[in-house]
Structure 1
Amino acid sequence: MKAAETAQADVDGARSLAWRGGFGRLWSAAVLSSFGDSLRKAALPLLAASLTDDPLLIASVTACGYLPWLVFGLLGGAVADRVDQRRAMWRVDVARGVLVGVFALAVALGHASIGLLIALALVLTTFQTLFDNAATALLPALVDRSALGSANARLLTGQQLVGGLLAAPVVPFLIAAGPGLPYAVDAVTYLVAAALVASLRTPAPAHPPRPAGATLRSDIAHGLRALAGDRVLRGLCAATAVGNVGIGALLATLVVLVTDWLHAGSGGYAAAMTAYAAGSLVGGALAGRLARRLGRVRGVLAAGTAQIAALVAMGTVRDITALTASMALFGAMGMVWNVSTHTLMQERVPVAVLGRISAAFRTLALAGAPLGAMLGGAVAALRGPSAPMLLAAALFALSVAVLTPVLKSADSGQTAQTAR
């Protein structure tokens, strides 16, 4: 899509995106679920640390939150294209609500264990592979094509607001009232979100007749081929995968950078994460403006370039104020990247195959994060706490280099040839 077309689309989208009706309910469900998820994710490491002092076991709880995407992500996308996405989403949320509710009861009764925490992380993320891909495929059925950019910005910004700024401060108060309370609240948010999605009145997206003998394996293969066949999405996926290696290195070692290199303690770490969340909110507001001025792919390139500068500052300027400012910039540009990527995928891919292509994109892009975490830890041990930030900067520079050649294809308005 050309910059001028993007500008008109976003202007039209701002007018046509209505909060009442389907999008408002989907937004409310997504934001409410994000609040509950953030409560659980903030409380789980504290619970794990109370059960064991083995760092490897504690880290395994977080690692298991990534593993199902690598194992089941492609399958979740293929299933999302075969079913009524609304029904799949609300049923998944009901299942997650019941599961987390039972876990909350186990914690309250003193029956929690590291094994139970790991099992919970694995099962919840497995469900998430279907839910997230179904949600991506459902959005174009709820809003006009011209409103997709605005819709994605509002969804991601709302989730960041409640997840990054509102949920974490509430966790200590909930735990003080009862160790199982954060998980009980999470369970309630799942059930309310399920009711909101189930109440959507938008007709279920039509699925074209499937070829004789079509299997989930063939659907997955088709999604991978279709992603590889679209030069813009292929370049975005490769760039995101490389960038996620850098983000993995950053997240795995940020606490060491703050406490050991800057000597800023836990307060400094909290300030850095808060700055990141606040920057993300600003980025949600900027995404549409950058798209209007530059086009979506150029907006991603501009965001990646700014993130390189932020990472270099993190790795060279030994000052907590500079770190928080850099984290705010990094978060803002990360949101611009994410909004533009989501919107480009929904604009370029036919709805009938959007689930499996988004699954292929997510799975391949996410694969770099755990690798980056391991690499960042090794680099920090060998070269010091600031070295992973410079490694991440180099990886983001590679991301920008990977994405640069696809500009011509993006500007030409080429669409993915993915229909069977």
Structure 2
Amino acid sequence: MWAAAVLSRFGDALRTSALPLLAASLTDRPLLVAAVTACGYLPWIIFGLWGGALADRVDQRRAMWSVDVGRGLMVAAFALAVALGRGGIGLLIVLAFALTTLQTLFDNASTALLPRVVPHEALGPANGRLMTGQRIAGGLLALPLVPLLLAAGAATPYAVDALTFLAAAALVASLRTPPPEGSPRPPGRTLRADIAEGLRALWQDRPLRGLCTATALCNVGMGAVIATLVLLATGWLGADDTQYVTAMTAYAVGSLVGGALASRLAARLGRMRSVCVAGIAQTAALAAIGTVRSLVVLTAGLAVFGLMGMVWNINQATLMQQRSPARLLGRVSSAFRTVAISGAPLGALLGGAFATAWGLNTPALLAAGLFAAAVLALWPAVRTGTPARSLT
């Protein structure tokens, strides 16, 4: 499972780093570039809850490898279109939407499968190793290769990504996992009823509810930053492709440090307090990126942002897995993700609008304000504490 996740992230990093550069080469309109990012998040709003309900009903391992086969074939077709000069901005938007639609099932199935692979008490370190391995593959290994692959042809990063999807599918298909625990589903129960049960479980858990609200606010800011980061780097700061990739590599390096520190911070501060500290540091990093016109500050700010983002993500995922009922984990995961991610398309469009109206640096300042609001949303849960619990 670790090898499949790492290999797949390697290919994802090639594609997601090359797509903004391709979009920027096709149009100089910030809103159109931002639309590619927005359509990469939109399926979570439309299909996210259904993906979680399906993940709790089907063989999660089979769902994961089947989705990866489909995504591999889809990206291979896109690579062919780019090679033939048919990779217009409209096709980029369609690809982003389709890949994320399939991801709604894959991610929820993966979250629900991990507790069947490792013991409950090992979920924190397991999440850390998964995410750290993905950062190594996606940041340190993949990102420096992007300029070389683009020099070999605009379609090359997408062709390699397609191969990694297919290889990851083969690895997941080879897993042998125990059957899921939990009582059988009542006959005739609808997907709608399953979804409602997952939403209720998330709403009734106050720490998870607060964490979900904070993550939603952060994702509005993340959508604004991600959608316009290539424009901030190449337009506001005048960076070339190599400098842009260098800044993104700093983000990956920071994430590796965060992966090593996440469990230690959680042991010292508690998981929710660790998330709160991460949000404060990310707010400061975004404020610096949007204020100081310097490639050095951008690179350092992204390193800090990556470090604390990993601390946030590892502790968030572990809290959700530890506090959710095992039989509902796919649905709680999908409810959390759908609510949290729903702000990202709005953020991407807001980022494009801010960049157009007030300057290419302003989306980072918008994001800083939203991260500060997220920290305030977390504060009640931090004050009361969040003991882990295991539900059946």
Q: Normalization by structure 1: what TM-score?
A: 0.85
Please say which of residues 214-223 and 283-292 is displaced more in the overlay: 214-223
For 1:218, the equivalent position in structure 2 comes to 193
For 1:138, the equivalent position in structure 2 comes to 113
Q: Deviations over 1:117-139 (max 9, x none)?
A: 43332222111110010000000
Structure 1 residues 99 and 390: alpha-carbon distance in aligned structure 2, compared to 1, 3 A threshold: closer
Q: Deviations over 1:150-177 (max 9, x none)?
A: 1111111111222123223323433444
For 1:232, the equivalent position in structure 2 comes to 207
Aligned 1:1-400 pairs, distance under 5 A: 26-48=1-23, 57-259=32-234, 261-264=236-239, 266=241, 268-400=243-375
2:6–2:133 contact (8 Å) kept in structure 1 = yes
Q: SS of the counterpart of 1:206?
A: coil
Please say which of residues 263-272 and 198-207 is displaced more in the overlay: 263-272
Matched letter for residue 313 of structure 1: A
Aligned alpha-carbon RMSD (Å): 2.5
Q: SS of the counterpart of 1:64?
A: helix
Q: Deviations over 1:265-287 (max 9, x none)?
A: 55553333222121111111110
For 1:20, the equivalent position in structure 2 comes to none
Aligned residues: 392
Q: Deviations over 1:252-299 (max 9, x none)?
A: 343454455545555553333222121111111110110110010010
In our comparison, the structure showing a higher alpha carbon Rg is 1
Query: In 1, Cα distance between the equivalents of 2:68 and 2:78?
Result: 15
Query: In 1, Cα distance between the equivalents of 2:322 and 2:199?
Result: 18
Query: In 2, Cα distance between the equivalents of 1:127 and 1:286?
Result: 32
Q: SS of the counterpart of 2:40?
A: coil
Q: Deviations over 1:29-51 (max 9, x none)?
A: 01111111222223334555566
Query: In 2, Cα distance between the equivalents of 1:153 and 1:253?
Result: 28
1:63–1:370 contact (8 Å) kept in structure 2 = yes
User: How far apart are residue 112 of structure 1 and its match?
Assistant: 4.3
Q: Deviations over 1:343-385 (max 9, x none)?
A: 0001111221101111111111111122223333434445444
Matched letter for residue 73 of structure 1: G
Q: Normalization by structure 2: what TM-score?
A: 0.91
Gaps of 5+ in 1: 1-25
Structure 1 residues 55 and 316: alpha-carbon distance in aligned structure 2, compared to 1, 3 A threshold: closer
Q: SS of the counterpart of 1:81?
A: helix
Q: SS of the counterpart of 2:185?
A: coil
1:86–1:204 contact (8 Å) kept in structure 2 = no
Q: Deviations over 1:308-340 (max 9, x none)?
A: 222232233343323322221111001100000
Query: In 2, Cα distance between the equivalents of 1:391 and 1:29?
Result: 36
Query: In 2, Cα distance between the equivalents of 1:413 and 1:187?
Result: 39
For 1:12, the equivalent position in structure 2 comes to none
Structure 1 residues 55 and 299: alpha-carbon distance in aligned structure 2, compared to 1, 3 A threshold: closer
